Structures are given as C-alpha cells and as structure tokens.
Structure 1
Amino acid sequence: MIKHHPSRALLEEFVSGKLVSSVSVIVASHVEMCSKCQEIVAQLTEKAALSAFEMEDDALFFDESELDAEIAMALDDSNFSGSAMNEQQTLAIKSITDLPALELGHLSNPIIELDDNGTKVPLPTAIRSIGLKEWQGIGKVSRARLTLDDDERRTSLLRIAEGGHVPPHTHKGFEITLLLQGSYTDEMDTYRAGDFIWLDGSQTHTPKTEEGCVCLTVSSDALHFTQGVSQLFNPLGKLIY
C-alpha cells in the first residue's frame, strides 16, 4: 500500500503545468502508480478546465439554436460563389501537396522495463522515451542517469542491491525519490513501491534495504554526509547525485 504521496499543492502545480520538467516527470510517474493521486489529478484537471472556460458544472458549451443557424448558413449555396470556392479549395490543396515531405529522424524504441538481476522492473510511461546513460556503481549502489536536461537537477534510476545501504546524510538541495520496486527503511519510515519521498536539508537519514530496491530520483544538489570522514564518501555522493 502506498503511504507517501506528493502534497496537494504539488499536484495542483503539476496539473497547471508549472513544474520544471524533472519534477513533473517524477510526479507523473507516481500518479501512474497511485490510484488515490489519479483521482485527485482528475478532480484538479476538471476544476482547471471549468475555470478556464469560466463555466459551472451544468453549463452548456454552446447554444444549440445558434449552432443550427450556422449549419443552415453553411449549407445554403446562395451564401457563396461555387466557382470562387472551388478555386480557393484548389489553391489550398495545392499549397499543402506542394510541401516537401518531412524527413523523420530515427526514433529509438522506448525502454519498457528494466532488468534488475533477472527481475523485470516496469518503468513509468513518463520516462520510457527518455534516454538512459550507462550504469555506474560503487559497492551495492549504482545509478544510470536519464538524459533529461533540466539545469542542475539530475534525474536518475538508482539501484541499491540486497543488503545495501547509504551512509547517514542530508541534502544540500532537495531529493525526490519514487520507489519503483522493492523496499527500503530509514530513521523515519519503511518505503515500498509507489511511495513518493521529498527530502531536503532539514532531514538526515540512512537508507537501508534488505531485499534491494530500484528508485527514480531527482536531485538538485549533492549529498552531505554527516558521520565519519566525509571525504571518503564523496565519490558515493557524486554517484548518487
């Protein structure tokens, strides 16, 4: 059962199209996995549509009597010259057919699922057409960055192998994690597939996983390790960011 969701304010920003691309992608991925948030997004979308048209729920989109009059006028041959209309139609068709054919570049096949040591991990629709760079790893932690250009924000797939963990750390910026498969635990809770976790510099945690997990992450800055000799963990921090 999914326990952690985007805030309603964040979902409102998502529906209005105001989120930056990386955050919009990870919110869309959560919504795809979460029936509760799907209902909220549907309600917010309907509300936004009604607001855009400045209409009440029971308002009509058009006046049927005016529509009938428009149709009658369009069918009345006396309203235009047949020869003039035919000439206009011919010119319009010619302007279209004379356009050069579009040359479409090669479209790569979308990545539908990820092979995690023999286990198939379905990927959210929002990231299937985004390129994926090579996997890099240290110990039981590995990541593959998505080719999503969004200023300093990095979007990645993150794997922590069975029995793996990340040392205690906080974040210089923010980190959003969407769990795609498996589970992990930190000082605050246990998280499972579909959970959406937004952390910043006010939280310190030590993610651990017994069964292993695969996550979609968005980070705006590097990790800051809070225990031990932090310089030793810098390569891991750069890898995750």
Structure 2
Amino acid sequence: MIKHHPKHELLAAFVAGELPAALNIAISAHVELCDECQQAITLLTQAKADEVFSIEDESVFDNVEVDLDDDFDDLMISQITSQKGDYVDEAPTVRSVEYAGKQVNLPRALNSVSWAKFQGVGKLTRARLDLDEGTVRSYLLQIGAGGSVPMHTHKGYEVTVLLDGSFEDEMCSYSKGDFIWLDESFTHSPVSNDGCLCLTVADDAPVFTQGLSKLLNPIGRFIY
C-alpha cells in the first residue's frame, strides 16, 4: 500500500509545467502507480485549464468582427473530414531492467530516457539517467537483498520513488510506489531485507555521517 506521496504544492507545480525534467519523471512514475495521485492530478489539471481558459472580461471581444463565408467554411470542414490516413494502433513501449533475477517493467515516464550501464560496489548498484540538468542527478538504484546505504544526510533534496521491492530506514518502511522527499533535516540509512529498485533524484551530493563512509565526503562531488 502506498503511504508516501508528493505534497499538493509539488503536484500543482508538476501540472503547471514548472519542474525540471528529472522531477517530472519522478512524479510521473509515482502517479502511474498511485490511484490517489492520479485523481489529484486530474482535479489539478481541470482547475488549471479553467484558470487558463476562463474569460474574466468578455469586453475584449467587443471590437472583434467575425465575417465567415459559409461556403468556404463548409468546404474546409468537408476537406478535413474526408482526409484518410494510415493509422497504426501500436502498443506503448514497455522497458524493463533485470533486478533480483527477474525483469521489472519500468514506468512509462522512463520510455524515452536512456541511462548508463549499472555499476556499483557490494549490494549497491546504480545507473545514471542521461538527463543534462546541471547539478541535478538522476539514477536507477538497486539495493540487493540484505543491502544498505550508509548513514547520510543531504545538502539539497533527495527524491526516491520505489519502483519495486521494499526498504526501511530510521523513520519508516516503504513499499512499491512510495514517493519520498528528504532534505538536510533528515539523516537515515536505508536497508532492504529483500532487495529493491528505486528511481532517485538529487540536486547535491549526500553527506555521510558515520564510519568509514565519511572518508568519501571530500570527493563526494566527483562520485555524485
């Protein structure tokens, strides 16, 4: 059951087209898995359409003269409706990745995005998405069964959309479809008992806070 969703303000910015591509993809991936947010997006889209197309002052049309030639209008409509074309009803492309010995289908939002090869150490593997958005980085992240991410916090924000499997941290447990937004006010160490596949978006390098992983902080910018 999905328990974690984008805030209303973030969904509104998504509908208004105000977010970077990586966040649009993350929200789209969550919405595809979440009936509740699908309904919210429908309502926000309708509200935005009403806002854009509403006419508060009809006087703007007072000086507009419309003179339609009925014969020309009928001819144009006839030509449009008589046009024939070859239409192919193709099923949408479904992309998948191999994870935990199986093929996992990815959300449609990732259909047109390419990514690098998966690389990693131990039970952590990731593939960077090919999105050129300055300091924003996006990855497909796999945590193998029994794996964990070292304790860390964030200089900026970190968004995680759980695409398959489950994990937990000091705050909560998460399941497929959950949308998790964290910032510098959170410190955590995600652990996955059975393994998981995530889409992650961050606008700065993580800051490791315990153990030997702290040695990575001086070079965090280069491996982020």
Please tell me the TM-score bracket, short chain as reference: 0.7 to 0.9
Structure-to-structure mapping, 1:94-173, within 5 angstroms: 112-173=95-156
Query: What does residue 7 of structure 2 align with?
Result: 7
C-alpha deviation, 1:76, in angstroms = 8.5
Q: Extract structure 1 runs of 4+ deviating beyond 6 A.
A: none
* Residue 199 of structure 2 corresponds to residue 216 of structure 1: yes
Retained in 1: the 8 A contact 2:155–2:204? yes
Q: What does the per-residue CA deviation read over 1:14-45, in whole Å, with 9 as the maximum and x for residues that have no partner?
A: 00000011111111111111111000101111
Give yes or no for the alignment of 1:39 onto 2:22: no
**Aligned-pair distance for 1:235?**
9.8
Separation in 1 of the partners of 2:181 and 2:136? 14
Shift in Å, 1:132: 1.1
Q: Contact 1:161–1:213 (CA<8 Å) still a contact in 2? A: yes
Q: Distance in 2 between the 1:115 and 1:183 partners? A: 16
Secondary structure of residue in 2 paired with 1:162: coil
Query: Does structure 2 conserve the Cα–Cα contact (< 8 Å) formed by 1:136 and 1:239?
Result: no
Partners of 2:117 and 2:218 lie apart in 1 by 17
Query: After superposition, what is the alpha-carbon deviation per residue over 1:154-193, rounded to whole angstroms, capped at 9, x for unaligned?
Result: 1110000000011111011111000000000001100000
Q: CA deviation at 1:237?
A: 5.8
1:25–1:188 Cα change, 3 Å: same
Task: Report how far residue 239 of structure 1 moved.
Answer: 8.9
Q: Please report the TM-score for the alignment, with normalisation by the length of structure 1.
A: 0.75
Hey, what does 1:74 align to over in structure 2? 72
The number of residue pairs the alignment matches comes to 200
SS at match of 1:167: coil
Q: Does 1:50 align with 2:50?
A: yes
Aligned equivalent of 2:164: 181
**Could you say which residue in structure 1 is the equivalent of 2:60?**
none
Unmatched segments (≥5 aa) in structure 2:
57-65, 76-92
Q: 1:205 to 1:121 in 2, by over 3 A?
A: same
Paired residue type of 2:54: E
Q: What RMSD in Å do the two structures reach over aligned CA positions?
A: 2.8
